[in-house]
């Protein structure tokens, strides 16, 4: 018996070793193309594909795939076929970092699109930075990702020249909402709630600063756990505070029940938030109780742009089961930015990508700085920090169960 | 103490919900000394069962008709899953090392969660739950939402029924006997297997009622709702004295009220401003749990028994 188990063990080890070495040799030759003259280049995509933010994440994934599909069909880059490899980060910083490492380790991946959450983006930046691999986020709105931790003190510093984003930051989104509420709605008393995440706390912070500067009053503040769904105690506090509105820095899964429970507590205060409340799910979950709530989102409403109309038609034609949601347009533009950066490199390089993937990644990262095109969300381009040059913002109001645009404009310092 | 009656009502509603779930932990523990960590998922399945009943009904069905059907289907789903779990996951391990059923429970909990995630239509994100509708009820000193009314009625009804069942009926007394000494109970002709199934089923039925209450309260059900609720209910069961059904309810109410009051008032205490609000309420609830267990290791209503954890 002993001998036999030894035999089995040896066989297993040998087979295992062979399999591993086979994997290794396959990796070595990849990136060089598969027969013929077509090279396949993979764009990594990271978003929460499962979990409670999956509605937004799936919208990002579908839109990104659509961008690739259309680029391949139009033969956007001669001799290069693009492919999306999507990984799920579940909204967790640790998982996002593992995914980034996986992309960097894969010799076919040229650049990455994603993630959705700012705290996940923060964890991925360094991995991509070390590998000189470009990352374009459609949805990270926390300012410190591009401008460094001291951006509020006026000491802006770009930390990673591999990081770009196509959406505007909370540095403009929060203040834009404050100006709208104070000047247009004449609201004076705010109750501030956030979920303590990088995105939510940051947004609530920039909103509060601007609202106070304008002369508004903060009658209460609170923080909630994003996993909770019972907010009755907080809702009662809001109702007793007689606030005109609640500014919520956080995302729709907690935001919708929070808003509904504030209404149920007998408060007339409406809930105002950022782009993470601008989701169909928000109105589906909150039903009548979220009527009148406001959300700001970056860019002009997609319905109002010609480039966006084509996108919406194509999205519909492709037959995706889930809607593109708040970040679909940005994901499409982010993916397209990567494709155009690859195109710039190929053009410069006599019609092909550099042989070594490391070189290719480096050159694509460099080319990204100058990429500019008419995107789904407006003119796409990047400033010296990697932020989008498109600073348009819109305010949406929930009317009969749908987010309707009420104002679009550009943020101006007050 | 601004708005104290309202905050107490919030706390009691939340606490009654915890208490109903905690009954399931406490009954199963009292009889087989198993911490059924899959109970949170039984609760979740009850919620999805109720939602299914609502979706089957034609649009515009009034709540008066829909609610009994929702409760019925929710309870049936939860009980079937709980009884199935007992039969196929726990019974084969009875008499084995005590850690094996515990690990099985954790595995089962993950499996049930993922099963709903994968197979229930559109359950990958939160599913909206129907609402009772209508405005708040102003009683002068306190304002109640109609959704909270459900738990304020169902929890006492459930507790009363359970109390009578355990004290008065033959099966109820057999249950007490099994919890005190399973071997002797068996010798006295009690079918202990049947009693254990009963304990799982009653716990599951109460959890399903709690899930409907939570659905009304938060306007949604999702595949992860059982995790936090289960953890809180388990805490409530320990706080009240695990093994004691009244203790579970008392523990739930204490926990719920503690959470509501901590959210509302800790921030007003000078020096504790930053420890108040919704994000610290769990910390205060667990501080309370530790204090109670330091002073009364057996829990508020628990009995001191040497051989129980």
Per-residue exposure over B237-271, b if at least 16 CB sit within 10 Å of its own CB, e if not? bbbbbbbbbbbbbbbbbbbbbbbbbbbbbbbeeee
The structure tokens listed for A251 are: 């995302």
Interface of A with B in 177-196 (CB under 8 A): 193, 196
Residue of B nearest to A232 (CA): B10
Cross-chain residue pair B277–A284, CB shorter than 8 Å: no
pLDDT at B204: 97
pLDDT tens digit at each of 414 positions of chain A: 445 555 555 555 555 554 444 444 444 444 444 445 678 999 999 999 988 888 899 999 999 999 999 999 999 998 899 999 999 999 999 999 999 999 999 999 999 999 999 999 999 999 999 999 999 999 998 888 999 888 877 788 898 999 999 988 888 899 999 999 999 999 999 999 999 988 899 899 999 999 999 999 999 999 999 988 999 999 999 999 999 999 999 999 999 999 999 998 888 899 999 989 998 899 999 988 899 999 998 878 877 888 888 999 999 999 998 898 889 999 999 999 999 999 999 999 888 889 899 999 999 999 999 999 999 888 899 999 999 888 888 999 999 999 999 998 888 776
> In sequence order, what DSSP letters do the residues of A167-184 get, joined into one string?
S--HHHHHHHHHHIIIII
Q: Do A234 and B14 touch (CB under 8 A)?
A: no
Does residue B306 register a pLDDT over 70?
A: no
Cβ within 8 Å, pair A196-B281: no
| Tens digit of each residue's pLDDT (9 = 90 or more) over B228-243 | 899 999 999 999 999 8
**How far off is chain B from A280, nearest CA to CA, in Å?**
12
Confidence (pLDDT) at A5: 57
Of A224, A239, A260, the CB nearest to B279: A224
Count CA within 13 A, CB hemisphere, residue B126: 29
Angle (nearest 5°) at CA B124 between B119 and B129: 95
Q: Residues B6-29: what's their mean pLDDT?
A: 94
Closest Cβ opposite residue A264 in set B11, B138, B145: B145
**Of chain A residues 207-246, which have a CB less than 8 A from chain B?**
221-225, 227-237, 239-240
The whole-angstrom separation of Cα A228 and Cα B212 is: 17
Q: Is A55 on the interface with B (CB under 8 A)?
A: yes
- Residues on chain A touching B228 (C-beta within 8 angstroms): 227-228
- What domains lie within chain B, and their CATH numbers? 4-295 (1.10.3470)
User: Domains of chain A, with CATH numbers?
Assistant: 39-168+303-382 (3.40.50.2300), 171-298+394-410 (3.40.50.2300)
* CA atoms of A6 and A10, how far apart (whole Å): 6
Residue of chain B with shortest Cα separation from A222: B277
> Which residue has tokens 């509708």?
B133
B277 contacts A221? CB cut-off 8 A: yes
Instruction: Please report the ipTM that was assigned to this predicted complex.
Output: 0.82
Write down the residue that tokens 């038609």 correspond to.
A313
Residues of chain A found within 8 Å of residue B217, distances taken between Cβ atoms: 229-230, 232, 261
Nearest to B236 by CA among B179, B300, B297: B300
A223, A228, A229: residue with CB nearest B220: A229
Give Dmax over CA atoms of chain B in angstroms.
Answer: 62
Q: Find the CB nearest A257 among B2, B3, B219.
A: B219
How far does A101 lie from chain B, in Å, by closest CA? 26
Mean per-residue pLDDT, B127-143 = 82
Rounded CA separation B94/B125 (Å): 36
Three-state DSSP at A310 gives helix
Q: Does A19 touch chain B (CB under 8 A)?
A: no
Name the band, by pLDDT with cuts 50, 70 and 90, for residue B272: confident
Tell me which chain A residues have a C-beta less than 8 angstroms from the C-beta of B267.
222
Q: Residue A308 and residue B220: Cα distance in Å, rounded?
A: 32
Position A21 scores a pLDDT of 45
Beta-bridge partners for A273:
A248, A295
Give Cα separations from A186 to A206, A274, A404, A407 (angstroms).
19, 19, 20, 15
Please compute the mean of the pLDDT values over residues B61-86 and round it to a whole number: 94
For residue B3, name the pLDDT band (cuts at 50, 70, 90): confident
**Strand pairing class (A392-399; A402-410):** antiparallel
- Res. B106 pLDDT band, cuts 50 70 90: very high
Cite the DSSP H helix spans in A45-169. Answer: 54-73, 93-105, 118-131, 144-147
Q: Which long-range contacts (CB under 8 A, 24 or more apart) does B52-61 make?
A: B52/B77, B54/B129, B54/B130
- pLDDT confidence of residue A34: 43
Q: What is the pLDDT of residue A24?
A: 42
Bridge partners of A351, per DSSP, are none
Residue of B nearest to A55 (CA): B125
B273 vs A337: which has the higher pLDDT: A337
Concatenating the DSSP letter of every residue in A256-282 gives HHHHHHHHHTT--PEEEE-GGG-SHHH
Cα(B130)–Cα(B55) distance, integer angstroms: 9
Q: Output DSSP code: residue A142.
A: -
Mean pLDDT of chain B: 90
Do residues A227 and A211 touch, judged by C-beta distance below 8 A?
Answer: no
Q: Do A264 and B136 touch (CB under 8 A)?
A: yes
What are residue A217's DSSP bridge partners? A189
* Helix (H), strand (E), coil (C) string for chain B: CCCHHHHHHHHHHHHHHHHHHHHHHHHHHHHHCCCCCCHHHHHHHHHHHHHHHHHHCCCCCCHHHHHHHHHHHHHHHHHHHHHHHHHHHHHHHCCCCCHHHHHHHHHHHHHHHHHHHHHCCCCCCCEECCCCCCCCEECCCCEECHHHHHHHHHHHHHHHHHHHHHHHCHHHHHHHHHHHCHHHHHHCCCCHHHHHHHHHHHHHHHHHHHHHHHHHHHCEECCCHHHHHHHHHHHHHHHHCCCCHHHHHHHHHHHHHHHHHHHHHHHHCCCCHHHCCCCCHHHHHHHHHHHHHHHCCCCCCCCCCCCCC
């Amino acid at each position: 018996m002993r001998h036999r188990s030894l035999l089995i063990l040896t066989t297993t080890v040998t087979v295992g070793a062979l399999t591993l070495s086979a994997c290794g040799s396959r990796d070595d030759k990849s990136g060089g193309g598969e027969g013929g003259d077509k090279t396949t280049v993979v764009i990594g995509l990271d978003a929460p594909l499962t979990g409670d933010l999956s509605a937004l994440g799936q919208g990002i994934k579908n839109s990104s795939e659509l961008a690739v599909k259309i680029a391949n069909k139009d033969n956007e880059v001669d001799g290069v076929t693009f492919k999306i490899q999507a990984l799920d980060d579940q909204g967790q910083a640790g998982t996002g970092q593992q995914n980034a490492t996986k992309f960097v380790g894969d010799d076919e991946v040229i650049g990455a699109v994603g993630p959705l959450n700012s705290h996940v983006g923060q964890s991925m930046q360094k991995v991509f930075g070390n590998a000189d691999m470009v990352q374009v986020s459609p949805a990270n709105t926390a300012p410190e990702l591009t401008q460094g931790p001291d951006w509020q003190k006026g000491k802006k510093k770009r930390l990673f020249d591999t990081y770009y984003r196509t959406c505007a930051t909370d540095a403009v989104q929060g203040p834009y909402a404050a100006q709208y509420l104070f000047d247009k709605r004449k609201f004076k008393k705010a109750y501030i709630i956030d979920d303590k995440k990088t995105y939510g706390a940051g947004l609530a912070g920039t909103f509060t600063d601007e609202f106070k500067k304008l002369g508004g009053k903060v009658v209460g503040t609170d923080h909630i756990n994003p996993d909770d769904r019972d907010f009755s105690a907080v809702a009662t506090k809001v109702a007793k505070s007689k606030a005109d509105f609640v500014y919520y820095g956080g995302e729709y899964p907690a935001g919708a029940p929070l808003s509904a429970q504030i209404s149920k507590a007998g408060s007339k205060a409406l809930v105002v938030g950022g782009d993470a409340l601008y989701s169909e799910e928000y109105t589906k979950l909150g039903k009548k109780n979220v009527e009148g709530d406001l959300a700001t989102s970056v860019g002009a409403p997609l319905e109002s742009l010609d480039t966006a109309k084509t996108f919406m038609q194509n999205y519909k034609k492709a037959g995706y089961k889930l809607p593109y949601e708040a970040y679909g347009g940005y994901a499409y533009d982010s993916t397209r930015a990567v494709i155009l950066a690859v195109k710039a490199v190929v053009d410069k390089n006599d019609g092909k990508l550099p042989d070594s993937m490391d070189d290719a990644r480096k050159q694509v990262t460099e080319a990204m700085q100058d990429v500019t095109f008419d995107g789904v969300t407006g003119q796409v381009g990047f400033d010296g920090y990697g932020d989008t040059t498109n600073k348009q913002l819109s305010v949406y109001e929930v009317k009969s169960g749908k987010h309707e645009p009420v104002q679009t404009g550009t943020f101006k310092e007050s | 103490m601004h708005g104290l009656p309202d905050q107490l009502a919030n706390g009691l509603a939340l606490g009654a919900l915890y208490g109903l779930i905690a009954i399931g932990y406490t009954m199963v523990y009292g009889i087989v000394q198993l911490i059924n960590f899959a109970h949170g998922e039984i609760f979740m399945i009850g919620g999805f069962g109720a939602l299914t009943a609502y979706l089957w009904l034609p649009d515009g069905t009034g709540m008066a008709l829909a609610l009994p059907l929702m409760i019925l289907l929710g309870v049936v789903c939860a009980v079937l899953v709980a009884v199935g779990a007992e039969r196929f996951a726990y019974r084969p391990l009875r008499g084995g090392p005590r850690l094996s059923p515990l690990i099985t429970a954790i595995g089962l909990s993950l499996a049930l969660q993922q099963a709903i995630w994968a197979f229930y239509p559109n359950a990958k994100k939160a599913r909206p739950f129907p609402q009772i509708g209508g405005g708040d009820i102003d009683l002068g000193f306190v304002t109640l939402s109609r959704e909270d009314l459900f738990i304020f009625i169902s929890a006492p009804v459930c507790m009363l029924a359970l109390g009578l069942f355990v004290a008065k009926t033959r099966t109820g007394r057999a249950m007490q006997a099994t919890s005190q000494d399973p071997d002797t109970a068996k010798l006295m002709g009690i079918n202990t297997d049947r009693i254990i199934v009963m304990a799982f089923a009653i716990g599951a039925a109460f959890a399903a009622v709690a899930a409907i209450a939570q659905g009304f309260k938060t306007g949604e059900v999702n595949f992860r709702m059982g995790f936090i609720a289960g953890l809180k209910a388990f805490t409530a069961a320990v706080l009240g004295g695990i093994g004691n059904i009244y203790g579970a309810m008392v523990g739930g109410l204490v926990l719920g009220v503690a959470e509501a009051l901590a959210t509302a008032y800790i921030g007003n205490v000078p020096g504790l401003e930053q420890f108040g609000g919704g994000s610290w309420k769990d910390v205060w609830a667990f501080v309370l749990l530790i204090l109670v267990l330091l002073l009364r290791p057996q829990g508020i209503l628990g009995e001191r028994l040497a051989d129980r954890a």
